Amino acid sequence: MKNPKKIARVILKGFRRHYRLFQEITATVKDHYKNQNWQEIHQAAANRISYYDSRVKESVIEVKHLLIDQQMDPSLWSQVKQNYREFLSFHPQAELAETFYNSVFCNLFHRGYYNNEFIFVETTLQNRTPVPIDSEYRSYFPVEDPGLGIVETVKRIILDFDFGKKFVDIDRDVEILQQAFFKQAPHTHHQPYQMRFDILKAPFFRNKSAYIVGRVVSLSGIQPFIIPVLHNAKKGLFLDTLLTDPRQLTILFGFARAYFLVKTHAPSALVRFLKELMPKKTIAELYNAIGLHKQGKTEFYRELLLHLTTTTDQFIVAPGVKGMVMEVFTLPSFPYVFKVIKDKFAPSKGFGRDTVLKRYQLVKEHDRVGRMADTLEYKEVVFPKERFSQELIEQFQQTIAGSFSIEGETVVIKHLYIERRMIPLNIYLDNANEEETAEAIDEYGKAIKEMIGVNIFPGDMLLKNFGVTNNRRVVFYDYDEVQYMTEINFRKIPEPRCYEDEMAAEPWYSVAPNDVFPEELGTFVTTLPHVRKLLRTLHPEILEASYWQEIQQQVAKGEYIDAYPYPDQQRFYHLWKKRISEVG
């Protein structure tokens, strides 16, 4: 006889195994950071992304062994869900466990059963006692030891993290940090007995940085802050800067950056703390930012379903030049785009669907350095048919007939990617003034330099494949031609042998599939003369094959650039230099 409670326990056991392994991988990062094993940190981040699906597959196999047949038994699965829900009453990772259950169920049965009766389309945790936020942070009260003062309290906060390395000069760093606090947030300047510090217990690791995240609670209210801790390669650790500006915090946790690696026993509590620091961030975005991207997908889907019930506008073709690989549509009232791989590509694309899937996964697992948009990947997504115009459905029938179907009053997309909507750079430039144009082209050049500096060759660098964010940063979002820098052959165009060569319609030199000629970049990315001139003025290096070859050699040796998610002029080392020059 089928045992619903046993099935529920098997799924929960699979989740516990997943989360234990997830936390074990995360825990290794502290030692990697201490020993400056940067490649191992990147590998840990990539492993965390793939482990989830492996654990789901294991649980699916176990559940199948408990089922007499593979037919859906509604009464059985209603009981399984009820038992599972009871197991989660006081579970510290309950919301993640719900998502894991959904993943197992959806791998077992047809999408017709993806509803509230059998899976957690809506969370059942809303009316239950939440895990207290203070389980994820510790508080420091300067008033408890007036003799220490605020400076010594801040010093203790930093040293309590025990990064395993000594600081080059912790007293110097804390003094500069205090000065930065007074300058950036003068309202936090109170007596020790008039404030406290709430600090998340675990540091946030990403690339070569560890971040201390907290807030000052005072008579003036709450002031969020983040302190990056970096390595001096040989001497020890140092505090690199102080971030208090809401815009900078948003960029640090932005959708174009790699996920943080941070240990957490109660993710919902951690996310709620972060939400208080960054109220404009959605819950989905914050789960994504801390590496729980499957939960981020769940929360995002719930946001989408809620949005569809509270709006009436229809999906439209996304503004911009039509792509040769993706069909892209959007909902004007919702700040995202939906991308579906076309059935057939343009003849100039010498690859197929499998290559596109691999390249999007490559970007998912790579360091995106704030220049490549994160993608949420979904399968078997159901939309109300009434939200699609007949014109758009007819276009789908021409371009993605193999990836969508109409079932009654619904449109089903078999596989799609969802990305944050941005203004395509070419459209942005059409409406930009002189200052905005210069800023955008400077950002475009920086985006290219930062991507190639971490071993990502964007491939198609046309302006239409870059977007401008709300913070006026330029971000790449078209990944079908992405490759590693080490796979490309960068060449200088040979000098013409004669006048006929120079005037010929076709190249007078041979071109292999992976040959790239950077000096052509200024010509083919835009037809606008003033934009070409700006690119040559602001970033002349990227038009030289030798520059690309030099970067290629560096990344081949594992020497990636350090792309800091905050302005260079804000870094503390400028103050060190100033002090040294004044003393000298």
Choose one of 63, 82, 113: the last residue of a domain. Answer: 113
Query: What type of residue is 271?
Result: V
Candidate from 50-54, 210-214, 284-288 with smallest mean pLDDT? 50-54
Distance (Å, whole) CA 210 – CA 212 = 7
Report yes or no on 123 lying in a domain. no
Of the candidates 479, 457, 282, 247, the one whose C-alpha atom is nearest the C-alpha of residue 373 is: 479
Residue 209, number of CB atoms within 10 A of its CB: 20
Choose one of 273, 305, 337: the last residue of a domain. Answer: 305
pLDDT at site 583: 39
Of the candidates 133, 228, 139, 223, the one whose C-alpha atom is nearest the C-alpha of residue 186 is: 223
**DSSP codes, 430-454:** HT--HHHHHHHHHHHHHHHHHHHTT
Do residues 384 and 342 share a domain? yes
pLDDT at site 500: 66
Structure token digits, residue 430:
């059409």
pLDDT at site 115: 86
Please report, rounded to a whole number, the percentage of residues in the chain having pLDDT higher than 90: 77
- The DSSP output letter for 557 is T
Report yes or no on 148 lying in a domain. yes
pLDDT in tens, 490-501: 999 887 777 666
Q: Decide if 33 contacts 41 (C-beta within 8 A).
A: yes
Do residues 142 and 101 share a domain? no
Choose one of 81, 113, 145: the last residue of a domain. Answer: 113
Do residues 72 and 194 share a domain? no
Report the pLDDT averaged over residues 260-274. Answer: 97
What Å distances lie between residue 48 and 43, 258, 456, 524, CA to CA? 9, 12, 21, 39
Report the pLDDT averaged over residues 436-458. Answer: 96
Do residues 183 and 272 share a domain? yes
Report yes or no on 120 lying in a domain. no
Q: Which long-range contacts (CB under 8 A, 24 or more apart) does 37-45 make?
A: 38/207, 38/208, 38/560, 39/558, 41/205, 41/206, 41/207, 41/208, 41/261, 42/207, 42/366, 42/367, 44/261, 45/206, 45/258, 45/259, 45/261, 45/291, 45/365, 45/367
Bind-site residues for ATP: 318-324, 339
**DSSP codes, 52-114:** HHHHHHHHHHHHHHH-SSSS--HHHHHHHHHHHHHHTTT-TTHHHHHHHHHHHHHHHS-GGG-
Do residues 253 and 284 share a domain? yes
pLDDT of residue 549 exceeding 80? yes
Candidate from 216-220, 378-382, 495-499, 569-573 with smallest mean pLDDT? 495-499
Report yes or no on 383 lying in a domain. yes
Distance, C-alpha 580 to centroid of its chain:
38
Report yes or no on 122 lying in a domain. no
pLDDT at site 144: 76
pLDDT at site 493: 84
Report yes or no on 340 lying in a domain. yes
Bind-site residues: 318-324, 339
Largest CA distance in the chain: 86
pLDDT at site 578: 59
Do residues 417 and 441 share a domain? no
Do residues 513 and 472 share a domain? yes
pLDDT at site 360: 95
Element at 46 (helix H, strand E): helix 38-66
Report yes or no on 128 lying in a domain. no
Distance (Å, whole) CA 141 – CA 201 = 15
Domain around 489 = 425-569
Structure token digits, residue 419:
């990305």
- The total of structural domains in the chain comes to 4
Candidate from 6-15, 278-287, 562-571 with smallest mean pLDDT? 562-571
Query: End-to-end distance of the chain based on CA atoms, in angstroms?
Result: 84
If phi > 0 it is left, if psi is from -120 to 50 it is alpha, else beta; for residue 572 that is alpha
Find all residues with CB under 8 Å of 257, minimum gap 6, and list them: 206, 289, 368, 369, 370, 565
Do residues 347 and 358 share a domain? yes
**DSSP codes, 366-380:** S--TTTB---EEEEE
Report yes or no on 40 lying in a domain. yes
**Confidence grade of residue 582 (pLDDT, cut at 50, 70, 90):** very low
Residue 550, number of CB atoms within 10 A of its CB: 12
pLDDT of residue 581 exceeding 90? no
Distance, C-alpha 349 to centroid of its chain:
27
Residues designated as active site: 374
**DSSP codes, 266-310:** -HHHHHHHHHHH-TTS-HHHHHHHTT-HHHHHHHHHHHHHHHHHH
Do residues 191 and 232 share a domain? yes
Candidate from 175-189, 233-247, 410-424 with smallest mean pLDDT? 175-189
pLDDT in tens, 503-535: 666 776 778 888 999 998 888 888 888 999 999
pLDDT in tens, 316-358: 999 888 889 999 999 999 999 999 999 999 888 889 999 999 9
Do residues 299 and 317 share a domain? no
Candidate from 45-54, 145-154, 172-181 with smallest mean pLDDT? 145-154
Do residues 252 and 379 share a domain? no
Do residues 219 and 204 share a domain? yes
pLDDT of residue 270 exceeding 70? yes
